[in-house]
Amino acid sequence: MSAVIIDFNVQDLTHVMAGLNALSVLCLMAGYLFIRNGERNKHRASMIAALSVSALFLVFYVIYKANFGFAKFGGEGWIRPVYFTILAAHVLGAIAITPLVPWTVYWALKEKFDRHRRLARWTWPLWMYVGVSGVVVYVMAVHLFPFQAS
C-alpha cells in the first residue's frame, strides 16, 4: 500500500472558496424553489446546507486572509472601476448579511414564520448577490485579470 501525497498550497483555497460560494448559491436557489412549492422540509434542508457551506467558506476565507491578505487585481483601464465596484458591493453585502442570516435562521427556529418570512425577503436576495458576486470577483481576479508582479 502506497501513500498518496497531495500537493496543497493555501493559495489554492481561492478555488475552494469559489466552489463553496457557487454551491451556496445552488442551495439557496433550491431552498427558494422548495418553499415556493410548499415543501418546508426540503426548504429547511436546503437552507441548512447553504448555511453550512457558507460557514465552511468563512473558515477557509479567514485561513486564506490570515496567510495572504488581500488579493491584487491585475486588470487595467476601464475594467478596474468595474471590478472594484463589484467588489465593493460584494463586501458591503457580505457585511450586511452577517447579522441578517443568523436573525433569519433564529426566527425560523423559533417557528415565528411571519418574522422569518419578512426578514428572508431581504436576506435571501442579498445572500444570493454575495454568493454570485463572490464567484464573479474570483473569476475576474484569478482567471481573467490575474496580478502579474513585475
Q: Measuring CA to CA, which residue among 33, 55, 59 is closest to residue 46?
A: 33
Residue 146 sits at φ, ψ, to 5 deg, of -70, 150
Confidence of residue 136 (pLDDT cuts 50, 70, 90): very high
The number of C-alpha atoms within 13 Å of 149 and in the hemisphere containing its C-beta is: 1
CA distances from residue 114 to 110, 111, 141, 143 in whole angstroms, order as listed: 11, 9, 40, 43
146, β-bridge pairs: 73
pLDDT recorded at residue 118: 98
Alpha-carbon gap, residue 20 to 13, rounded angstroms: 10
Confidence of residue 11 (pLDDT cuts 50, 70, 90): confident
Residue 104 domain flag: yes
Q: How many CB atoms neighbour CB 136 within 10 A?
A: 17
pTM for the whole structure: 0.90
Domain total in the chain: 1
Residue 150 domain flag: no
* Spatial contact of 50 and 24, defined as CB atoms under 8 Å apart: yes
Look up residue 31 and give its three cell numbers.
Answer: 431552498
- What H or E segment, with its residue span, contains residue 99? helix 79-109
The torsion region of residue 38 among left (phi > 0), alpha (psi -120 to 50) and beta comes to: left
pLDDT tens-digit map of 53-110: 999 999 999 999 888 888 789 999 999 999 999 999 999 999 999 999 999 999 999 9
Domain extent, residue 53, equals: 10-144
CATH number for position 51: 1.20.120.80
Residue 103 domain flag: yes
Percent of the chain whose predicted confidence (pLDDT) is above 70: 93
Residue 1 domain flag: no
